[in-house]
Amino acid sequence: MRVGEQSTDPIDQILGEVPVPVPLTPEDVRLAVRAVVVHAAEEWPAGPKCRNDGATYPCRLHRWGRRVLQTHGLNERQIDALVRHGNPFVHVPFPFVLTGPASARPQAPVTQSPRGQAGRVAAPGVRPAIRPGGTGRPVAPPATRPRWPRAS
């Protein structure tokens, strides 16, 4: 059975599909990643079955996770790369943004540090690079590239 086909499992026919939440939250995306990785296919003589609960593949949670990740902006190859990676706790950035023009990104405000050093750029919601009253050591900048497996 393919991912988009209707299941013949009686439980699936009675319960139907798990609805995708309308406003996606970071928690929904984390749960979806976990669902597609944990409920991945496992080969059996009778055909592929869900690795977690033994239902016919893809089970309800795997289908739900794929729909959530597609709604979030990932394509099939990226979702398959997540499944192959096998880590249910891999980080998918929220909001997920594909590489785009730099002009489309909002500009970060320039902040004034307590020591009078101007011109440092701080991303929204990130602490300034110099700690007030501290030793003046710079804080590591936030990661700019997502750390999740790339589709090959």
> Could you list the residue range(s) of the whole structural domain that residue 49 is in?
17-85
Return the higher-pLDDT residue of 46 and 94.
46
Instruction: Indicate whether 62 belongs to any domain.
Output: yes
Residue showing tokens 């489309």: 104
The residue-averaged pLDDT of 1-10 equals 59
The one-letter amino acid at 52: N
Q: What is the pLDDT of residue 102?
A: 45
Cβ 79 vs Cβ 36: under 8 Å: yes
Of 39-43, 69-73, 129-133, minimum mean pLDDT range: 129-133
pLDDT value of position 104: 45
The reported pLDDT for the residue numbered 66 is 94
Question: Does 76 reside within a domain?
Answer: yes
Largest Cα–Cα separation, the chain: 70
d(CA 41, CA 85): 13
The pairing of beta strand 47-50 with beta strand 120-121: unpaired
Q: Is residue 150 part of a domain?
A: no
Residue 7 lies in a domain: no
Question: Whole-model pTM?
Answer: 0.58
Task: Please indicate, yes or no, if residue 129 is contained in any of the structural domains.
Answer: no
- For the chain, the domain total comes to 1
Is 37 a residue whose pLDDT tops 70?
yes
